[in-house]
Structure 1
Amino acid sequence: MQAEGWRHDGDGPAYPPEPWVLRGNFAVGVFLVPLRDLPAEVRTQLPVGSRPLVLAGCAVVGVAAVQYTPGGVLAYDELLVALPVVHRARLAVTIPQIWVSSPASRAGGRALWGIPKELMNAHRRSTGRRLQALYRGGDRTILAETSVSVRRSIPGTWSLPLPTVQRVGEAASDPSTFIRSSNSVRGRLHLAQTQWTFGPSLSWLQGRRPVLGAAITQARVVFGARVER
Structure 2
Amino acid sequence: MAYPAEPWHLRGSLVISVFRVPRRLVPTDHLPSGARVITVAGNAFVAVAFVSYEPGGVLSYEELLVATLVHDEGRVAVSVPQIWVDSEASCQGGRELWAIPKQLARFGQGSSIAGVAATGGVPLPGRWTAAGWTAQRLDGRDVRTRARMSGRVSLIRTGWMFPVDGPLGDLTGRTPLVSFAVKDMQLTFGQAP
Q: Which TM class, normalised by the smaller chain length?
A: over 0.9
Structure 1 equivalent of residue 6 of structure 2: 18
State how far apart, in whole Å, the 2-side matches of 1:31 and 1:203 are. Answer: 13
Equivalent position to 1:206, from 157, 172, 180: 172
1:185 aligns with 2:185: no
The AA in structure 1 aligned to 2:131 is P
In structure 2, the CA distance between the partners of 1:31 and 1:135, relative to structure 1 (3 Å rule), is farther
The AA in structure 2 aligned to 1:26 is L
State how far apart, in whole Å, the 1-side matches of 2:72 and 2:50 are. Answer: 25
- 1:90 positional shift: 1.0
- With a CA cutoff of 8 Å and minimum separation of 6, indicate the structure with the bigger relative contact order: 2
User: Which structure has the larger Rg?
Assistant: 1
Please, what TM-score do these two structures have when normalized by structure 1?
0.80
Structure 2 equivalent of residue 139 of structure 1: none
Matches within 5 A, 1:35-54: 35-38=23-26, 42-54=27-39
> How big is each residue's C-alpha offset from its partner over 1:90-124, in whole Å with a ceiling of 9 and x where there is no partner?
1100101000010000010001000000011122x
- 1:168 positional shift: 3.0
In structure 2, the CA distance between the partners of 1:196 and 1:162, relative to structure 1 (3 Å rule), is farther
Q: Return 5+ residue gaps in structure 1 as ranges.
A: 1-12, 124-133, 137-141, 171-176
Answer yes or no: is the 8 Å Cα contact 1:150–1:190 preserved in 2.
no
- Give the CA RMSD over aligned residues: 1.5
In structure 2, the CA distance between the partners of 1:135 and 1:71, relative to structure 1 (3 Å rule), is farther
Please, what TM-score do these two structures have when normalized by structure 2?
0.94
Answer yes or no: is the 8 Å Cα contact 1:162–1:185 preserved in 2.
no
Instruction: Report percent identity of matched pairs.
Output: 42
Answer yes or no: is the 8 Å Cα contact 1:182–1:226 preserved in 2.
no
State how far apart, in whole Å, the 1-side matches of 2:98 and 2:25 are. Answer: 27
State how far apart, in whole Å, the 1-side matches of 2:178 and 2:127 are. Answer: 20
Equivalent position to 2:137, from 147, 167, 170: 167
Answer yes or no: is the 8 Å Cα contact 1:187–1:219 preserved in 2.
yes
Q: Return 5+ residue gaps in structure 2 as ranges.
A: none
